[in-house]
């Protein structure tokens, strides 16, 4: 049987199947299959994006499957958990930044990996800022004692200071559109927040960021993990940090 609820939601949102597909990053034929068969539904990571675009709740669009699968407790904001950054699909952060409309907050001690994981990141950030998206970075301090102690623990040729320096080098041409501050207070707790989606990383002492556990969060609750770590923590860190440029 066809998913009439999904079909009506598309009509109410004034979206075609192709437009919805473009917004959530899937092939139009995939959306057509969702509409044609009520038992067909997206991968869990796409539920909230489809529902957000259509102004609905997940359980409205796929009631049978979603009621059985959607988490209802505090952990329902946890989209996925990865033991390392290497285990996380690279397109998670790519899609987050590309889809941001209101803000990009990168509270990342080095932020080094963003430029290797997201092709054309600097051009993308400039385009986002030009479209009215606020873009902020909070980096670590390469000269701080904590940074030097971390370098000793890691004992790698590509030092923490060098990674921070690389990020600053990439951000300097964007200083007219991107806000950048520095603080040591963010060490060990990295957050990339793009609108209502975030990736959290927790440092493992002695290992580089690629070996850090990562959590992919989607905001679904008031006062939940997203609000605590992706908002309250990053905003407090921003207020405590010092501007890199006047």
Give me the domains of the chain, ranges plus CATH numbers.
Answer: 4-70 (1.10.260.40), 75-243 (3.30.870.10)
Q: Which residues of the chain have pLDDT under 70?
A: 64-72
> What per-residue confidence (pLDDT) applies to 155?
87
Q: What is the pTM of this model?
A: 0.72
> What per-residue confidence (pLDDT) applies to 66?
59
Are β-strands 214-218 and 197-202 bridged in parallel, bridged antiparallel, or unpaired?
Answer: antiparallel
> What per-residue confidence (pLDDT) applies to 4?
86
Rounded to whole angstroms, the Cα distance separating 226 from 235 reads 12
> What per-residue confidence (pLDDT) applies to 64?
63
Phi-psi region of 206 (alpha: psi -120 to 50; beta: other; left: phi over 0): left
Are β-strands 134-139 and 78-82 bridged in parallel, bridged antiparallel, or unpaired?
Answer: unpaired
Q: What is the separation of C-alpha 213 from the centre of its chain, rounded to a whole number of angstroms?
A: 15
Cα radius of gyration (the chain):
20
Question: Buried b / exposed e across 68-88, counting CB within 10 Å, b at 16+?
Answer: eebeeeeebbbbbebeebeeb
Give the tens place of pLDDT for each residue, 149-187: 998 988 888 898 999 999 999 999 999 999 999 999 999
> What per-residue confidence (pLDDT) applies to 71?
62
């Amino acid at each position: 049987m066809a998913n009439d609820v999904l079909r009506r939601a598309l009509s109410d949102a004034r979206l075609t199947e192709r437009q919805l597909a473009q917004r959530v990053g899937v092939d139009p034929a995939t959306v057509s299959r969702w509409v044609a068969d009520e038992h067909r539904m997206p991968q869990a990571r796409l539920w909230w994006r489809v529902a957000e675009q259509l102004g609905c709740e997940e359980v409205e669009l796929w009631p049978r499957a979603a009621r059985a699968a959607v988490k209802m407790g505090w952990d329902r904001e946890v989209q996925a958990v990865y033991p390392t950054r290497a285990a996380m699909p690279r397109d998670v952060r790519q899609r987050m930044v590309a889809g941001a409309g209101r803000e990009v907050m990168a509270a990342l001690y080095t932020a080094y990996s963003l430029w290797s994981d997201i092709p054309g990141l600097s051009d993308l950030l400039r385009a986002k800022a030009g479209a009215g998206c606020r873009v902020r970075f909070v980096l670590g301090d390469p000269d701080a004692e904590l940074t030097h102690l971390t370098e000793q623990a890691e004992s790698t040729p590509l030092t923490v200071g060098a990674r921070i320096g690389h990020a600053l080098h990439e951000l300097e041409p964007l200083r007219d559109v991107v806000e950048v501050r520095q603080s040591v207070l963010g060490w060990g707790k990295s957050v990339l927040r793009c609108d209502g989606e975030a990736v959290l990383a927790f440092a493992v002492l002695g290992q580089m960021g690629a070996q850090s556990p990562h959590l992919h969060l989607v905001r679904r609750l008031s006062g939940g993990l997203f609000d605590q770590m992706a908002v309250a923590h990053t905003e407090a860190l921003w207020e405590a940090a010092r501007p890199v440029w006047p």
